[in-house]
Structure 1
């Protein structure tokens, strides 16, 4: 009888590791970059544009306009690369699904004992494609968020009111 659990897991194949890296880039990279962009931009804006109780007419620092436009450009480049990796992971997942000998492993859980290896492979590939698709959608959605935060100071000015 085969034992199941962490003691019997084998190391993941290189395509699986690449898929995992692409999924992490889309699911956590783009949202993290967007969040960091918002935190840094809002902190700088609050420090440069607002006094203790009233807003200032002009930013406190002379290079503030440059920083408020450069930070989103860097965030845009990083978020675009994370979203691109996520989409590459989706393409890679589709390629793996069409390979006749994909590197999948079947675990030996009781409910899987009645399924054929082909059914187990199909279930595994469905999970991989689902995670890759979610990663691509999340990465792209937060890339759009980075673009909106980048465009906002142009629309309302660096020290303008947002509401």
Structure 2
């Protein structure tokens, strides 16, 4: 099997799958967990805190705050490894492509194999960095939603 442009002893397909998994974890895993957390929390809050025509003074279920806190804790426990996996992919891409520098834009047919591999390594690092930043941003959102019940009453009027 051919080696990737990134200096490694792993086969090309294995390295690509690992970096793709890292990118997917940061770009879709952490935002997906955040979205699921928001949807579940909002549905439960709407059901527990609002009647047909007026808001309730207290939640419909006892232990409602505990349930919201537990759901958010599970979201943090799943989102944190996704963001960590994205950062691992970025560090791996950065370490393996450290010597790669982009080349001036020329027609693709005129580029050497080394120039094409260097350009590929730059693209992989960029995607890995975007994944790590998106994963971290949504992890911060998950943590804020997790801590919200500590500061705001779930069925408060204002």
TM-score band, normalised by the shorter chain?
0.7 to 0.9
Measured in 2, the distance between the counterparts of 1:160 and 1:76 equals 24
Measured in 2, the distance between the counterparts of 1:80 and 1:157 equals 26
Seen in structure 2, the aligned counterparts of structure 1 residues 18 and 55 have a Cα distance that, compared at 3 Å, is same
Alignment correspondent of 1:8: none
- Is 1:120 the counterpart of 2:113? The answer is no
Measured in 2, the distance between the counterparts of 1:91 and 1:16 equals 14
Deviation at 1:157, TM superposition (A): 1.2
Measured in 2, the distance between the counterparts of 1:121 and 1:152 equals 47
Measured in 2, the distance between the counterparts of 1:96 and 1:158 equals 48
CA RMSD across the alignment: 1.9
Alignment correspondent of 1:154: 150
Alignment correspondent of 1:135: 131
Aligned pairs for 1:94-113 (under 5 A) are 94-98=94-98, 111-113=107-109
Measured in 1, the distance between the counterparts of 2:36 and 2:60 equals 22
Structure 1, unaligned runs of 5 or more: 1-10, 101-110
Per-residue CA shift, 1:11-59, capped at 9, x if unaligned? 9521111000000000000000000000000000000001011111111
Alignment correspondent of 1:79: 79
Q: How many residues align?
A: 143
Per-residue CA shift, 1:47-76, capped at 9, x if unaligned? 000101111111101131211100000000
Alignment correspondent of 2:56: 56
* TM, length-normalised to structure 2: 0.85
Measured in 2, the distance between the counterparts of 1:30 and 1:154 equals 22
Measured in 1, the distance between the counterparts of 2:85 and 2:15 equals 13
Measured in 2, the distance between the counterparts of 1:116 and 1:160 equals 65
Deviation at 1:99, TM superposition (A): 7.6
Task: Give 4+ residue runs of structure 1 displaced > 2 Å after superposition.
Answer: none
* TM, length-normalised to structure 1: 0.82
Deviation at 1:143, TM superposition (A): 0.2
Q: Residues 65 and 149 of structure 2 are in contact (CA less than 8 Å); yes or no, is this contact kept in structure 1?
A: no
Q: Residues 23 and 127 of structure 2 are in contact (CA less than 8 Å); yes or no, is this contact kept in structure 1?
A: yes
Q: Residues 34 and 138 of structure 2 are in contact (CA less than 8 Å); yes or no, is this contact kept in structure 1?
A: yes
